[in-house]
Amino acid sequence: MTDDIHRLTADVRLRPATLGDAASFAEALTRSRAHMRRWEPVRPEEFYTPEGQARRLSGLLADRDAGRAMPWVLADEEDRVVGAMTLASIERGPFRNARLGYWVDVGRAGRGLATAAVGRVCEVARDGLGLHRVEAGTVVDNTASQRVLAKCGFEQIGTAPRYLHIDGRWADHRLFQRILHDGPPQR
């Protein structure tokens, strides 16, 4: 189930990320750079190149193969990257938890794609990965992302002062969680 392709809208699907997505990631991230700046760490210029994205994706795919992450892309009808979803820091045992990160291309923002994709990723986290809980954090003034999380059943569980270094400063974050089920941990 974790490797399935999921149709989100008539022209966008959620599918596993591949190393072959590097150039498309670089284009989408460059296109959305100014829009996402307020919510992202300051990145070196290399991050926005196909080579920089290939290195980043290689690390994510190694983490996927080790069971520590699950990276997906939102792909348009021509298979271009228009966003991404990642479950990272996947923990097994009694915690059964992962951290969720996501973004949507500036040209596709505000159309419900993040909500549809977060909902689907939570289903996969529960049914495919057997996780109990997914957590996410947003910069305190990222109300659009907070609305996505609320629509997808996340509840705010606190505020973390100076949580991450975002846009050149230590930024306060709102922390959220979604409990996926209350059954015992699966193998």
Confidence tier at 30 by pLDDT (50, 70, 90): very high
Which DSSP letter does residue 118 get? Answer: H
Which DSSP letter does residue 181 get? Answer: -
Q: Above pLDDT 90, what percent of the chain?
A: 91
Distance, CA of 138 to CA of 119 (rounded, Å): 17
Question: What is the pLDDT averaged over residues 100-112?
Answer: 94
Q: Report which of 128, 131, 141, 126 is spatially closest to residue 171, judged by C-alpha positions.
A: 141
Q: Is pLDDT at 12 greater than 50 in this prediction?
A: yes
Which tops the pLDDT comparison, 183 or 57? 57
Q: Is pLDDT at 3 greater than 80 in this prediction?
A: no
Condensed to tens digits (0 to 9), the pLDDT of residues 152-178 reads 999 999 999 999 999 999 999 999 999
In the chain, what is the straight-line distance between the N-terminal and C-terminal CA atoms, in Å?
16
Average pLDDT of the chain? 95
Secondary structure class of 20 (helix, strand, coil): helix
Distance, CA of 90 to CA of 20 (rounded, Å): 24
Torsion of the alpha carbons at 90, 54, 12 and 113, rounded to the nearest 10:
50
Condensed to tens digits (0 to 9), the pLDDT of residues 125-151 reads 999 999 999 999 999 999 999 999 999
Question: What is the pLDDT averaged over residues 75-92?
Answer: 97
Residue type, 115: T
Distance, CA of 179 to CA of 187 (rounded, Å): 18
Residue type, 61: L
pLDDT at 83: 97
Q: Report which of 162, 156, 150, 161 is spatially closest to residue 175, judged by C-alpha positions.
A: 156
Distance, CA of 61 to CA of 57 (rounded, Å): 6
Task: Locate 81 and state its tokens.
Answer: 């990257």
